Structure formats: C-alpha cells, structure tokens
Amino acid sequence: MAAFLTWLTKWQTGVTWVDADHREITAMLNRIVDVNRRAPTQDPATAGREVLVVLDALIERTRRHIHAEEAFLREVRPPGYDAHRCEHALQLAEFTDLRRALEEDGAPDLNPETLQAFKRWFFNHVIVEDRDYAEYRDDEPEAAPTAPSPDWAD
C-alpha cells in the first residue's frame, strides 16, 4: 500500500534542521497510519496501545519542533508570528484532545477524517507556512535552536 505521505524535495525550506524535523514528522505520520491500518487485525487492547504509543511520539516530536521553531521565529519576528504561535498552541491542544478521546474510548481507530486532518495540518502549517518563515533567516544554525519553554506555555 502506498505511503500516506511521501517527502518531496520541493517541500524543503532550505533550513537543514527544519527540513530534518519535517522529514521525521512525515515518517511519524506514515507510521501512525500504518499502525491504524493494522488495528482491525489485532486484539483491540493491543491495537489501541500501539496507536497511543505512536500518537504520543508524534505529539512529543511535534512539541519539540514547535519549541525550536518558536525560538527561531522569536529571533526574526516575521509578519504573522503571533498568529503562527497561536496555531501551534491550537494544534498541540487538538493532538492532546485526540489522544485523550482515544484513550477514554479505548478505540484504536483513527477515522479517515482524522487522518485527513493530519494531512491538512501537515501541508498547510508545516509545508506552506514554515517554508514562508524560513526566508526570514539569513544565517542558518547548524542545529535547531533550543528554548526552555515556548512563550505560549507561560
């Protein structure tokens, strides 16, 4: 079966650490779709745990990417920075709500609408908006900036 998402070089931002993060998030989205596809053939409790483990990893990886990205954006303060930060908070809240609902339902199934929402988020936010912000950086750091906590966590 074809991959849910296939990384394309045209999605690159030109910022090495951002592109590496995006490729890793692409792989994680593919992993969660693969786990979800196998769920109906497994014991529901086992499948549910596996979906939650992969979703937890996606949430944590996304959180780390957001922290680094916000440290990067704080340096350059591009237009739309505050709105972009709000989108980050909203996306993490949506992931957390999804995780909570899956755990409460005990249902391992991510419905097609949820999977398409992942894809829309990835394209709209990660590919389009992050690529737009990358042009504001003149000198690329070797690694992702680190931040003790994002502004929105205060």
Mean pLDDT lowest among 5-19, 68-82, 101-115 = 101-115
What pLDDT score does 146 carry?
53
Q: Which domains does the chain have, with CATH numbers?
A: 15-153 (1.20.120.50)
* Share above pLDDT 90 across residues of the chain, in percent, rounded to a whole number: 36
- Across residues 20-35, what is the average pLDDT? 93
pLDDT digits (tens, 9 = 90+) for 79-92: 888 998 999 999 99
Who contacts 86 (Cβ-Cβ below 8 Å, separation ≥6)? 152
User: What Cα–Cα distance (Å) separates residue 3 from each residue in 29, 37, 78, 124?
Assistant: 10, 12, 34, 19
> Between the CA atoms of 76, 93, 60 and 42, what dihedral angle is there, to the nearest 10 degrees?
-150
In this predicted structure, the answer to whether residue 109 has a pLDDT above a threshold of 50 is yes
